Amino acid sequence: MHHYTLKTSAKLPNWKAELANAVTSVAELLRLLELDPDDGMVLPKPGFRLLVPRGFVNKMQAGNPDDPLLRQVLPLAVERALGGYRDPVGDLDAMPSPGLVHKYRGRVLLLTTGACAIHCRYCFRRHFPYASANPCKSQWQQALDYLKAHADIEEVILSGGDPLVVDNDKLGQLLDALEQISHLRWLRIHTRLPVVLPARIDDALTLQLRQRRFRTTLVIHANHANELMCDEADALQRLATSGVTLLNQSVLLKGVNDSATTLIALSKRLYEFGVLPYYLHLLDPAEGVMHFDVPQSRAIAILDALQAALPGFLVPRLVREIPGAASKTAIFTI
Ligand SMILES: *Cc1c(COP(=O)(O)O)cnc(C)c1O
Ligand code: SF4
């Protein structure tokens, strides 16, 4: 475990200070983990920059270059070697208004911000043009107008980026505006913050969620049981006691969680923390991520093993996103 002192102003709320103090230098990350800084596999100055909060680094094992949490954030030279697409799931063709992605009946994604608290190397939105499609800025009203005009939309899903990087005041304004739209009944938030920056789940946030008429679901994103330790349990507990339903989505990632043992441990840890597994996504083939790809045949074998070892409610749905499909496409074992 590593100890550090905050360099930033003590006046910021805890989570903002932690975010401002996150590790952004590859050299520093390697030093903190006592790893060889001259490792030729590493990409020292990646275009999609390194960003990882120190609390997440503390959950990594020093001296282990294959640590499953480190693998998720460490830029590697191999990112430049393989193929992949800039817009792998066709988001840009499904945006009726900037930052609003409407693919499936009854629900829409609202890309609330382009910012995240961690940069995941496998992210399929690595190349998303957030600068021109960010409804929390100038195009907010346009997204709300679209929602108002479509009475069949029952659920709004805040996504990003990470919607909980938005501060409580601004998030409150967005939720106020959404609450005015009477046909919206359900609120969903897709966020990694309870896992990577649990201090974000502060009282002001749980109050924001509690006082709403929406039925609210928060879908966290953890790929490995090591991501869930003590602080995350407290954060999740606070959300659960605020009446929020907690689910998890993971991405199946080579070298991180592509084994039944690892995913069984993750499902059990999630359940201990009050969270049910929802989706296990096959990798979306974005440029720079292909070294994480797990073949579908292997994914099916892993799913088989999960089904043989866990109660049904702890087996995530294995899915792939196919552009143009009416939902995520489930992959079954036979
Ligand atoms: C994944 C996704 C959703 C959510 O799908 P669910 O199956 O309801 O979880 C909604 N909209 C878009 C554009 C998505 O990519
Ligand atoms: S937190 Fe989500 S959106 Fe942000 S980099 Fe990671 S996977 Fe991508």
Q: Does any domain span residue 213?
A: yes
Task: List the structure tokens of 66.
Answer: 């294959």
What is the 8-class DSSP label of residue 54?
H
| Residues of the chain above pLDDT 70, percent | 93
**Which ligand is nearest the CA of 217, by number?**
1
**Same structural domain, 198 and 113:** yes
Residue 102 CA to ligand 1 centre (angstroms): 9
Q: Give CA–CA dist 124/287, Å, rounded.
A: 8
pLDDT at residue number 95: 87
202 by Cβ neighbours in 10 Å (0-12 / 13-18 / 19+) ranks as middle
pLDDT at residue number 83: 81
**Same structural domain, 26 and 174:** no
Residue 209 pLDDT > 70, yes or no?
A: yes
Residues 217-226: tens digit of each pLDDT: 999 999 999 9
Ligand 1 atom nearest residue 328's Cα? 7
Pocket of ligand 2 (CB under 6 A): 116, 118-120, 123, 125, 160-162, 192
Mean pLDDT computed over 199-213 = 95
At 33, which amino acid appears? L
**Same structural domain, 67 and 132:** no
**Which ligand is nearest the CA of 323, by number?**
1
Angle at Cα 106 formed by Cα 102 and Cα 110, nearest 5°?
A: 40
**Which ligand is nearest the CA of 292, by number?**
2
Residue 106 CA to ligand 2 centre (angstroms): 24
Mean pLDDT computed over 172-201 = 97
Looking at ligand 2, which residue's alpha carbon is closest to its atom 7? 123
| Beta-strand relationship, 155-160 and 107-113 | parallel
Residues 277-319: tens digit of each pLDDT: 999 999 998 889 999 999 999 999 999 999 999 999 999 999 9
Q: How many domains does the chain have?
A: 2
Residue 231 CA to ligand 1 centre (angstroms): 28
- Choice from 125, 256, 289 to test ligand 2 binding pocket (greatest atom count within 8 A of CB): 125
**Same structural domain, 132 and 112:** yes
**Same structural domain, 110 and 33:** no
Q: Give CA–CA dist 224/69, Å, rounded.
A: 8
Q: Does any domain span residue 175?
A: yes
**Same structural domain, 65 and 213:** no
At 57, which amino acid appears? V
Residue 85 pLDDT > 90, yes or no?
A: no
> Which residues on adjacent β-strands are paired with residue 277?
248
Looking at ligand 1, which residue's alpha carbon is closest to its atom 1? 328
Q: Does any domain span residue 265?
A: yes
**Which ligand is nearest the CA of 188, by number?**
1
List, in order, residues 6 or more apart from 215 with CB less than 8 Å away: 185, 186, 187, 245
Q: What rounded mean pLDDT belongs to the chain?
A: 91
Q: Return the exposure string of 165-178: e unless at least 16 CB atoms fall within 10 Å of the residue's CB, then b.
A: bbebeebbebbeeb
Residues 128-166: tens digit of each pLDDT: 776 666 666 566 889 999 999 999 999 999 998 999 999
Q: Give CA–CA dist 52/39, Å, rounded.
A: 20
**Same structural domain, 135 and 70:** no
**Same structural domain, 148 and 34:** no
**Same structural domain, 98 and 51:** no
Phi and psi of 318, rounded to 5°? Answer: -80, 120
Residues 28-73: tens digit of each pLDDT: 999 999 998 777 789 888 889 999 999 999 999 999 999 999 999 9
* pTM greater than 0.85: yes
What is the 8-class DSSP label of residue 198?
G
pLDDT at residue number 134: 63
Count the neighbouring beta carbons within 10 Å of the beta carbon of residue 150. 14
Residue 212 CA to ligand 2 centre (angstroms): 26
List, in order, residues 6 or more apart from 228 with CB less than 8 Å away: 195, 222, 269, 270, 273
Mean pLDDT computed over 208-219 = 96
- Choice from 89, 153, 157 to test ligand 1 binding pocket (greatest atom count within 8 A of CB): 157
Mean pLDDT computed over 98-111 = 94
Residue 162: helix, strand or coil by DSSP?
A: coil
Angle at Cα 55 formed by Cα 221 and Cα 4, nearest 5°?
A: 165
Q: Does any domain span residue 9?
A: no
Residue with the two structure tokens 């191999």: 78
Domain that holds residue 288: 92-330
pLDDT at residue number 6: 46
